[in-house]
Chain A
Amino acid sequence: GQQVQQSPASLVLQEGENAELQCNFSTSLNSMQWFYQRPGGSLVSLFYNPSGTKHSGRLTSTTVIKERRSSLHISSSQTTDSGTYLCASTNAYKVIFGKGTHLHVLP
């Protein structure tokens, strides 16, 4: 079945460093989304990115459908960026999530 692989599983940064999170998916899909999961569990949508590059503040998402991958770049990380980042691939109405990247930014 459809699978989504995220890497790295965890990442520790010093504040100010950049981060690159990767997401690879196994089958063709309609879109790719990135979410931030708060410690309490709720999700915040970061990007809906079926293809190409999108920017939002210090965040950049790039999806290359032909290569079945998407990335999330965080520049100049801050301690408030700490948490879990999830990518999800959508095929019709079925949405498959990766296991997430746990990011910890140290002051």
Chain B
Amino acid sequence: AQTIHQWPVAEIKAVGSPLSLGCTIKGKSSPNLYWYWQATGGTLQQLFYSITVGQVESVVQLNLSASRPKDDQFILSTEKLLLSHSGFYLCAWSRRLGGSSAETLYFGSGTRLTVL
């Protein structure tokens, strides 16, 4: 069975400090990977997606960056946090289908980020 693990579970960081959030998928080769962000009381927004190692596409610009260093790993980071980065970050995976489409999304448990 496939499992998705996000780390850390929660972070409290200062404005201007760096951030790195991680996501690992086990039991599934070549998954599509996604990062989402949700402000408190807000709508889930897709930030990035990746369909293969080394390739990441940006969907929403929030002064964040993402990388996929391994097939099963997706990293979200920034060198300088803003207050507006606070919220809930979710990583997700889906199976790769033929052509340019995706299938059911499976989400990790998320990381709650508070920027002070």
Please give the residue numbers on chain A whose beta carbons come within 8 Å of chain B beta carbons, in ascending order: 30-31, 33, 35, 40-43, 45, 48, 86, 88, 90, 92-100
**5 interchain pairs (CB within 8 A)?**
A30-B101, A30-B102, A31-B101, A96-B46, A97-B43
Q: Is the interface of A mostly helix, strand, loop or mixed?
A: strand
Determine whether the beta carbon of A92 is less than 8 Å from that of B105: no
Determine whether the beta carbon of A93 is less than 8 Å from that of B43: no
User: A94-B59, A96-B46 known; A41 and B110 CB under 8 Å?
Assistant: yes
Q: Which residues of B contact A43 (CB under 8 A)?
A: 90, 107
A33 to B44, CA, bound (A): 14
Q: Tell me the nearest residue of chain A to B112, going by C-beta.
A: A41
Q: Is B34 in the interface zone, CB < 8 Å from A?
A: yes
In this complex, the member of A42, A45, A93, A97 whose beta carbon has the largest number of chain B beta carbons within 10 angstroms is A93
In the complex, number of A-B residue pairs with CB atoms less than 8 Å apart: 58
CB A34 to nearest CB in B, in angstroms, measures: 10
Q: Tell me the nearest residue of chain A to B6, going by C-beta.
A: A42
B59-78 contacts to A (CB < 8 Å)? 59
Determine whether the beta carbon of A45 is less than 8 Å from that of B100: no
Determine whether the beta carbon of B46 is less than 8 Å from that of A45: no
Determine whether the beta carbon of B105 is less than 8 Å from that of A45: yes
Q: Which residues of B contact A90 (CB under 8 A)?
A: 101-102
